[in-house]
Structure 1
Amino acid sequence: MLTWFRDRYLDLLGSIYIYNEHRGYTAIDRVLEAVRARYPEDAEFIAKVERHRADERKHYVMFKRWFELRGTRPLAVDRMFGHIDRFVEIMFGRTIDGLDTKEVIARDELFERLCRVISLTEQRGYKQVEILLANRFVKSDPQLVRIFEIIKQDEPSHWAPYDGWLKQHARREPRWWERALDGFIHSELLFLKLPLLFLNPFMKRRTSWRDEGEVDPDRYSRKLGAHPA
């Protein structure tokens, strides 16, 4: 029974993470579009966002390999289990795919809001990885431990460019209600959505990988000299 519980937990954990990592790097593609258009001369800022994107892609590939070694594919979770999805929907009143990139570029207050959302999401991710690395089920899987150790090492550089932009442009830090909202989204996932998913015997697995059909998904990894695996 304990073995089944552990395997089910890790299966759900991996499925949620691989969704969020894929969502991460594909969403950052849109952030990069905005950054390049608004700040074409800021090579350092662009390079940091490209690094963030490359890391998210690398993490996705690591989880993909983890599932391949288990001989299975992730459960077909959707944006209901995406932290950044939920945060953007609440803060902007629309989905990530529904964001108007041109509008975000044109209005500093929107880009400022996006920077705070990304920063809070990445900092939340770092704290969660620290918790998972102490989890006995995670520690029972050496490959998964290694994946989370790499994520923990990469994570601090992910919120740095957005915090840097806010400071450079004299924009405010997240307020208490934004931090509370971030905490609420995390709690909603952890204490409501995850248990419901755990108890759902009808949840199907994906029949294809999310990156199938993407055009040159590792372009930033190669540019930065990072190996995706």
Structure 2
Amino acid sequence: MGLRQTFRERYLDVLASIYLYNEHRGYTSLDRVLEAVRERCPEEPAFQAEIAKHRADERAHYLMFRRWFERQGRMPLEVDSGVGHIDRFIQWIFRCGIEDLDTHRIVTQPQEFERLCRVIMLTEQRGFRQVEVILKNRLIMSDPVMKKIFEIVHRDEPDHFLPYQHWLERQSRATARWNERMADWCIHKVLMLYKLPALFLDTGRARMVRWPDEGETSAAPSPSLERAALLPSPRT
């Protein structure tokens, strides 16, 4: 039982660290996407509102994983863009990192904007399918707080890919090309078969010394978001 408990705690630690990184990367990157959508689609306020909700949800999910770690009394493992699905996808499709993505160029070139929408859509669809797998994992579901977090993430996920899918459909554009689907599949396999196991086995991996959102104007956890998450208060 001791070995099983140690395995369980390590697995949850690694999983939560990866999700915390991706949720933070998600909502901070969506700030630029929302800016691009407002410039590219000024006549579509409903689409803009959907992207804003997507951003708010990603922020709420980040806070839930942060709170989970606060309840454990420890910081997340130090990870980088190597565990980021969207990081790898952007690099694969646009040949640059997220920070170097030229938002102005993408806005002025319809094909590039459509590619961006497809990348986000495919990333979120992948996330939805992965959460469905997680919700069937007894090891993860044995943690009641983690179970609640992933139930909320699963509930929110469709709103994160449908806006981009519907926009592409309204424009009579392809919702995915074969090379983009192949990129998504390859990235997922690398993360699941290499990055996650490697992180699990790296017992000397350092932990973060500060939260990723420290210094942001919205760094303090929002009480309304915490109430919506229905998570217990951190241990004192």
Q: TM-score, length-normalised on structure 2?
A: 0.91
The AA in structure 2 aligned to 1:183 is W
Let me know the Cα RMSD of the aligned residues. 1.6
2:17 aligned with 1:15: yes
- Residue ranges of structure 1 left out of the alignment (5+ in a row): none
The AA in structure 2 aligned to 1:163 is Q
Equivalent residue, structure 1, for 2:224: 227
Q: CA deviation at 1:217?
A: 5.6
Within the candidate set 163, 181, 184, 1:182 is matched to 184
Report 1:66-215 matches (<5 A). 66-215=68-217
Q: Give SS of 2:98's match.
A: coil
Q: Give SS of 1:54's match.
A: helix
Q: CA deviation at 1:201?
A: 2.0
Deviates most, 20-29 or 207-216:
207-216
Give distance in 2, aligned partners of 1:36 and 1:127: 29
- Post-superposition CA distance 1:60-114 (Å, at most 9, x none): 0000100000001100111000000000000000001110111111111111001
Deviates most, 36-45 or 92-101:
36-45
Q: Give SS of 1:202's match.
A: coil
Q: CA deviation at 1:175?
A: 2.2
- Residue ranges of structure 2 left out of the alignment (5+ in a row): 227-236
- Post-superposition CA distance 1:185-226 (Å, at most 9, x none): 0110010111111111221000000000012368xx99xxx9
Q: Is the 8 A contact 1:55 1:154 kept in 2?
A: yes
Q: Is the 8 A contact 1:10 1:138 kept in 2?
A: yes
Identity among equivalent positions (%) equals 52
The number of residue pairs the alignment matches comes to: 224
Q: Is the 8 A contact 1:58 1:227 kept in 2?
A: no
Give distance in 1, aligned partners of 2:174 and 2:204: 45
Deviates most, 171-180 or 118-127:
171-180
Give distance in 2, aligned partners of 1:144 and 1:122: 20
Q: Structure 1 residues 98, 58: CA separation in 2 closer, same or farther (over 3 Å shift)?
A: same
The AA in structure 1 aligned to 2:225 is P
Within the candidate set 36, 39, 48, 2:38 is matched to 36
The AA in structure 1 aligned to 2:178 is W
Q: TM-score, length-normalised on structure 1?
A: 0.94
Within the candidate set 35, 47, 50, 2:49 is matched to 47
